[in-house]
Amino acid sequence: MNEEKGLIFDIQGYSVHDGPGCRTLVFLKGCPLDCAWCSNPEGKQFKQEIMYRATKCTHLTQGCERCISACPEGAIRKNPSENGDKEANPLILDRSKCQSCRDFDCAAVCYFEALKICGRWYTVSELMRILKRDQQYWGGQGGVTFSGGEPLMQRRFMRAVLEACRDAYIHTAVETSAYIESGAFLELMKFVDWAFIDIKHMDPEKHKIGTGVSNELILSNIALLARSGWSGRLIIRMPVIPGFNDDDENILKTAEFLRQVGLVEMNILPFHRLGDSKWSQLGEIYPYRDYEGTPEEKLAHLQKLLLDQRIACYVGSETPF
């Protein structure tokens, strides 16, 4: 019998910030949103991709050109400005020629991992072997957290994995945008013990400007889940993005929505630029590369606004779970 497969771009152990206890994080590729501040841009596309880490490239130091010779599409060439511009990457990738690539011969011959394939297909059994291996280190409250990308986008694989986790008594959490068809969303959530759902902005038009989609389906799914009698714990998250959603009006509207659907917990996440290097490795420029991290006084102000509205607000990783 054919087994469901999922496209995963990272698996991390020993996380203590993505659900209760110590957890294993599984990052799935593919996302219906296109957030300009995304810290995991390698999770956006539902396909395998090449990431180029110029700092590991030995073209300049050792004259290595194995990837240039290995690429059948001629997508890799030497950077003509490499000698005159210290900031320039040693090699240039024409990613338009990589679209149909399935073999990634360039990465296979790159012994220093300057070129690396992002994304690997896992069967349910392969992933479960990893989770059961890690299970002994989680302690009583730990488990697995599925993130991305948008993990629920790969719904058939996620359904099979979540059912296998339940059979193995593994606590499950998801970090999701909730931007999937409502029936499928509620069906998948039956197998989830804990959920973090993002609200990026309360205004549908501004949400679309920042993420590429409206927030109507997201808010509807949050309300449906909150009122469904679901037995899990739901924490609303908001990444605090400067100039986009960090104004008092948006925060107060978010608190009002939470009260309307009967939710009382929110986790605000400070903006950071940790995804900048990964945008560069994908051949793109991070739109928020010149923005500073969220000041502590700003986070304290937003937290007070929410607390005054009777919403329990946790800042960053300072949570009771």
- Exposed / middle / buried, residue 177 (Cβ in 10 Å: 0-12, 13-18, 19+): buried
- Exposed / middle / buried, residue 175 (Cβ in 10 Å: 0-12, 13-18, 19+): buried
Provide the whole-model pTM: 0.95
The β-bridge partners of 5 are 123
Q: Are 139 and 18 in contact (CB under 8 A)?
A: no
**C-alpha to C-alpha distance for 217 and 156, rounded to whole angstroms:** 20
- Compute the radius of gyration of the chain from its Cα atoms: 21
Please identify which residue in the block is written with the tokens 């490239």. 57
**C-alpha to C-alpha distance for 319 and 321, rounded to whole angstroms:** 5
Q: Which domains, from first to last, does the chain contain?
A: 5-46+120-315 (3.20.20.70), 49-118 (3.30.70)
Tell me the pLDDT of the chain (321 aa) as tens digits.
579 999 999 999 999 999 999 999 999 999 999 999 999 999 999 999 999 999 999 999 999 999 999 999 999 999 987 554 556 799 999 999 998 898 999 999 999 999 999 999 999 999 999 999 999 999 989 999 999 999 999 999 999 999 999 999 999 999 999 999 999 999 999 999 999 999 999 999 999 999 999 999 999 999 999 999 999 999 999 999 999 999 999 999 999 999 999 999 999 999 999 899 999 999 999 999 999 999 999 999 999 999 999 999 999 999 998
